[in-house]
Amino acid sequence: MPPEPNIGPLVAAARKRHELTRAKAIQALRELDRTGAPVSFDGVARRAGISRSWLYGQPDIRAEIERFRDATRRSPSPPIPAAERSSDASLHARLEAALERNRQLTEENQRLRRQLAHALGDQRASAR
C-alpha cells in the first residue's frame, strides 16, 4: 500500500493564494472608489490582475462591486473621489453651524423689528 500523500502544504498554498487574490481585489476596489473611477467587474479584475469569473464567485466582493456600480449609475454627476467626500462628522458640523447661524439671524430679526416698532411709535408720538 503506497503512503498517503501529504496534501497539507498544497492546501496551505491554495489558501494563501486565495487570500492574496482577495486582498488584490479589495485593494483594486478601494483604489477605484478612492480615485472616483467607475467601478465594474472588468475594471476591478484588470486593476487587480485577476479574472472576472473569480470575482463573480466571491459573494461579498461581488456585492460591493454591484453596490458601487449601481451608485455610480444612479448619480447624474461624475463620482466624487473618496478623499473629497464629506464625512458624517463634517456634515453634522456644517448642519450645527447652519442651525446656529439661523438662530442668530432670527434673534437679530426680532431685535430689529422691536427697534423699528419703537422708532415708528416715537415718530408717531412726535407728529401729534
Q: Residue 16 corresponds to which cell in the numbers above?
A: 494563501
- How far is residue 64 CA from its own chain's centroid? 12
CA angle 43, 24, 15 (to 5 degrees): 130
pLDDT tens digit sequence for 84-125: 677 888 888 899 999 999 999 999 999 999 999 999 999 999
pLDDT tens digit sequence for 48-62: 999 999 999 999 999
State the pLDDT at residue 83.
Answer: 65
From residue 88, alpha-carbon distances to 85, 93, 95, 101, 104 in Å are: 10, 9, 10, 20, 24
